[in-house]
Amino acid sequence: MCSKVTLDGTNYNDGMRNMKIVLYFEDKEYVLEKPLDEIDEEKVTPEELVSYKKHYNDATKITCMMVASMTLELQRYYEDYLSYEMNKDLMEKYHKRALQEKYEVVKFLIENKMKEGDSVSSHVQRIQRYVDWLVKLNVKFDEDLAIDTILNSMPNYYDQFILTYHLNNN
């Protein structure tokens, strides 16, 4: 029932996407979104106590699933966390890194232009590697946008080719 992706920190988005699929199936996604508040068992209603115990049991199960899907290093680090706190910490550490990485790749793609004398094939391959990188970072990047990105990176003397390409493919 655990995800196929072993969470190692560099693949936070993939690991959490898989975990959330399992949580939605089990109807337990709330344990990542709502902290488990401490209660005073003498001052709560029976309904509140039942709700607390359910939340605690669900959070414990999900914590075990999350830790089981991690590398040993992350398992050691997060073994004393509950699911909500673990997710919050993972998001702060790794999701921000993924956002920064995405920003840098997009910036490269926007700013990159083929230089005079460069091989078209090498240039296209380099741009394609960055497009593939964005796809791995879960950026929605369809084929048309990938082609437009590559064509935009070509020198101005390719404008006629680009116009012809677009006219023939629309």
3-state secondary structure of 70: strand
Is the pLDDT higher at 149 or at 167? 149
Whole-angstrom distance between the N-terminal and C-terminal Cα of the chain? 45
* Percent of the chain residues past pLDDT 70, beyond the cut: 91
Q: How far apart are CA 122 and CA 146, in angstroms?
A: 16
pLDDT, tens digit, 9 for 90 and up, residues 29-86: 999 999 998 888 888 999 999 999 999 999 999 999 999 999 999 999 999 999 999 9
Q: What is the pLDDT of residue 1?
A: 47
CB 129 within 8 A of CB 152: no
DSSP 132: H
Q: Is the overall model pTM greater than 0.85, yes or no?
A: no
CB 153 within 8 A of CB 114: yes
Q: Rounded to 5 degrees, what angle do the CA atoms 170, 132, 165 make?
A: 20
pLDDT, tens digit, 9 for 90 and up, residues 18-28: 888 889 899 99
